[in-house]
Amino acid sequence: MREHYRSEDFTESDLSADPMDQFARWFRQVAVGGVLHEPNAMVVSTATPDGRPSSRTVLLKQYDDRGFVFFTNYGSRKGRELAANSHVSLLFPWHPMARQVIVTGTAARVSREETAGYFRTRPHGSQLGAWASDQSTVISSREELIERYEELAARYPEGEKVPVPPDWGGFRVVPETIEFWQGHGNRLHDRLRYVREDAAGTGTGAGPWRVERLCP
């Protein structure tokens, strides 16, 4: 099975000077076009300290010049792996537009204030679900999960303020590289990657961005 991509050229002259501005431009195009059910769905890949990887789909909840934010149970597999190894990769697979965005960087927890602010925007049922699920742990049955949820629903009925779970919150991925991939026919894809340069040898990776073109 092979798809013959039909798309416009994507060249250096098309790029914004800042990769987060470029991401915002592509994200708006995907979101407004209505071709994807959840354009903010991304594959988050983490690894243990000895290099054993794992991946899962997570929803991006915020992005700005500081990075990309998602929320999870800190006791989940990704939460535990990020606590031990902060290196992470994000993949936005926008296949209907023959586009991908690949981010590599490091993740750190957001503040509890930022977590609480987002938690309050979640639907009531999703707030209860964050309490009901000890994410990534073994459970005996779905009935056990439903029972936990129903107990919480009785304790915190609709309209009742649900506290933020202590082991639940956000991660902000601070990018070190951001690659914009535009598919073309004959595998002659455009791959333009922003790389964060080191600022005066500080080792912080807080310098300016340079752009590289990669072979497809």
Looking at the annotation, which residues are catalytic?
187
Q: 45, 91 in Cβ contact below 8 A?
A: yes
Q: Could you tell me if residue 150 is left (phi over 0), alpha (psi between -120 and 50 degrees) or otherwise beta?
A: alpha
Q: What is the H or E stretch that residue 154 is in?
A: helix 142-155
Output the CA–CA distances (angstroms, integers) from residue 144 to 72, 139, 164, 202, in the order listed: 21, 7, 22, 51
Q: Work out the angle at residue 73's Cα, subtended by the Cα atoms of residues 45 and 90, and round it to the nearest 5 degrees.
A: 20
CA–chain centroid gap for 79, Å, is: 13
